[in-house]
Homo-oligomer: A and B are copies of this chain.
Amino acid sequence: MKKDRPFTHAIDRLGSVGLRPTRQRLALVRLLFENGDRHVTAEQLHREVTEIGVKVSLATIYNSLNQFTAVGLLREVAVETGRSYFDTNTAAHHHFFNDDTGELQDIPGDSVVLSTLPIAPDDTVVESVDVIVRVRNK
């Protein structure tokens, strides 16, 4: 029995974080998590979900992206002021950002390593370290 049951997966994923499996959320979860690691903006996701014939308002896209992020299903990546990118890979890793295309992409596992972690300013603790390697088309 090799057949996947994506619907169930999506339901389970939502259930595991305490979010109700609504039609909208299910469609979004499938788009986001059943196609490998992804980096999406709200507009992009809205276009995609609309293309597959599911009607979801932009407001719900934003609500969902924020909820998913709050429960740790997604991670937000700040690369450009103006619009937000959401990454389905929540593990610690870094990014390439193509300034020409606006495309964001994971940097393979350990090909960037910080040799030293700097000492945080007084009375602060390090939360996370983001490395963004900006590239341009040749």
Contact with B along A73-91 (1 / 0, CB 8 A): 0001011111110000000
Beta-carbon nearest neighbor of A130 in chain B: B132
Residues of B within 8 A of A118 (CB): 94, 96, 107-108, 111-112, 133
How many angstroms between the C-alpha atoms of A105 and B124 in the bound complex?
Answer: 13
A127 within 8 A of B: yes
Q: How far is the CB of A107 from chain B (nearest CB, A)?
A: 5
Contact with B along A108-138 (1 / 0, CB 8 A): 1001111111111101111111111111111
Tell me whether A125 and B135 are in contact (CB under 8 A): yes
A24 within 8 A of B: no
A66 within 8 A of B: no
Q: A121-B135, A125-B136, A129-B132 are in contact. List 20 more A-B contacts (CB 8 A).
A: A94-B118, A96-B124, A105-B121, A108-B118, A112-B114, A112-B115, A112-B116, A113-B114, A113-B116, A114-B115, A120-B135, A123-B137, A124-B136, A126-B133, A126-B135, A128-B134, A129-B131, A129-B134, A130-B133, A131-B131
8 interchain residue pairs of minimum CB distance: A124-B135, A111-B118, A127-B134, A115-B115, A113-B115, A81-B84, A130-B132, A123-B138
